[in-house]
Amino acid sequence: FKRMTDLDLAGKRVLIREDLNVPVKDGKVTSDARIRASLPTIEHALKAGAKVMLMSHLGRPTEGEYAEEFSLKPVADHLGSLLGREVPLIKDWLDGVDVDAGQVVLCENVRFNSGEKKDDEALSQKMAALCDIYVMDAFGTAHRAQASTHGVGKFAPVACAGPLLANELDALGKALQKPEKPLVAIVGGSKVSTKLEVLEALSDKVDQLVVGGGIANTFLAAAGHPVGKSLYEADLIEAANKIAEKVHIPIPVDVVTAKEFAESAEAVTKKVEDVAEDDMILDIGPQTAHIVAALMKEAKTIIWNGPVGVFEFDQFGEGTREMAEAIADSDAFSIAGGGDTLAAVDKYGISDKISYISTGGGAFLEFVEGKVLPAVAMLEARAND
């Protein structure tokens, strides 16, 4: 695909799709990682003298309707403070946007337009008519074939990848397509069902597959261990066994349990065979955490998605903490992605010790599954014109 950094942007109307879908509370942005990740792209375009128009979605509003709670106003304010300049928010932008060279505006939530999610052609053409160059930079939304991520790129005079998207694809490609071995993946989170395709795809590629959270419980049950009243999926035991036949999975030898799921719950460490009928497994135990940490030390490439315990509650966060610190200390090329993972990276303060932190949640998982991201396919199709 074409890259924005190879193009002359001076005086051009440049329409950039970012993923500025960030958490907002009481009119304030509460985590600005995605906004900060998009800054180099925006600053590059401004420096090059482009007329910069930014697009993004925020949340999942009823399509075609304005709703204040999904307005990008807090994002415009926050972005403005990071850039050190005002970023006007344009409410009605489909029929044309006034912006000078070297200036930037933010177009209001793309999902307020009907047809956005359907990848509507007429809407895509209107977006395309706004610009000379369309830049797709929203890795986090690259798995969506929608008007602002996909359709617009088919009709814009030029369609290219922004630096954030290109860097994500380079980093993820490095970890998955030609990884230095051993390659170790950690897949945590609550359910096998939501990560089945990821687990299956990784089981063909990795040397060790570390599982955590509710996912580990299903693997424990599959291996014949008692899981008490822990979250697990009985109907996926067969699928878990099939995965375990393909790849080495160091299932926990000890776990941290509680009688209830609560912030105040008392944490009790047990050997896996001692889990009682009224126990809930809420973290991996210390012995397991050491085993996992040792794997991180030997690894040359690490892919991390999902915490291994209920780390929101400190007494069930030790497994995730020890693992996160082991990843931080490892010399491996490490990638972390997915919403909860980034919250854990933040909580344990290791963000600058991970080689690459993906801005994608669903997009990251689909990439790991080996799926073609529609926005990337569109850019490839437009590579030569």
Tell me which residues are annotated as active site. 34, 191, 339, 362
**Among 259, 260, 261, 307, CA closest to 284:** 307
- Least distance to ligand 3PG, CB of residue 34, Å: 8
- Least distance to ligand 3PG, CB of residue 18, Å: 10
**For ligand 3PG, what does the binding mask look like between residues 51 and 80, x meaning CB under 6 A?**
---------x--------------------
Q: Are 40 and 76 in contact (CB under 8 A)?
A: no
Q: Are 321 and 200 in contact (CB under 8 A)?
A: no
- For ligand 3PG, the closer of residues 140 and 285 by Cβ is 140
Q: How far apart are the first and last CA of the chain?
A: 10
8 known member of a binding site? no
- Looking at residue 151, the DSSP 8-state letter turns out to be I
By CB under 6 A, name the one of 362, 369, 370, 377 that touches ligand 3PG.
362
Q: Considering the rule CB under 6 A, would residue 113 count as an interface residue with ligand 3PG?
A: no
**Among 384, 381, 368, CA closest to 153:** 381
Q: Which amino acid is at 27?
A: G
**For ligand 3PG, what does the binding mask look like between residues 126 and 145, x meaning CB under 6 A?**
--------------xx--x-
Q: Considering the rule CB under 6 A, would residue 153 count as an interface residue with ligand 3PG?
A: no
13 known member of a binding site? no
Question: Cβ atoms within 10 A of the Cβ of 69, count?
Answer: 9
Per-residue b/e over 225-262, b at no fewer than 16 CB within 10 Å? bebbbbbbbeebbebbeebbeebebbbbebbbbbeeee
- Least distance to ligand 3PG, CB of residue 162, Å: 15
**For ligand 3PG, what does the binding mask look like between residues 9 and 28, x meaning CB under 6 A?**
----------x-x-------
The DSSP H or E segment spanning 175 is helix 163-176
Binding residues: 19-21, 34, 57-60, 111, 144, 195, 312, 338-341
> Residues at the annotated binding site for (2R)-3-phosphoglycerate?
34, 111, 144
Residue numbers of the site for ligand 3PG (CB under 6 A)? Answer: 19, 21, 60, 140-141, 144, 361-362
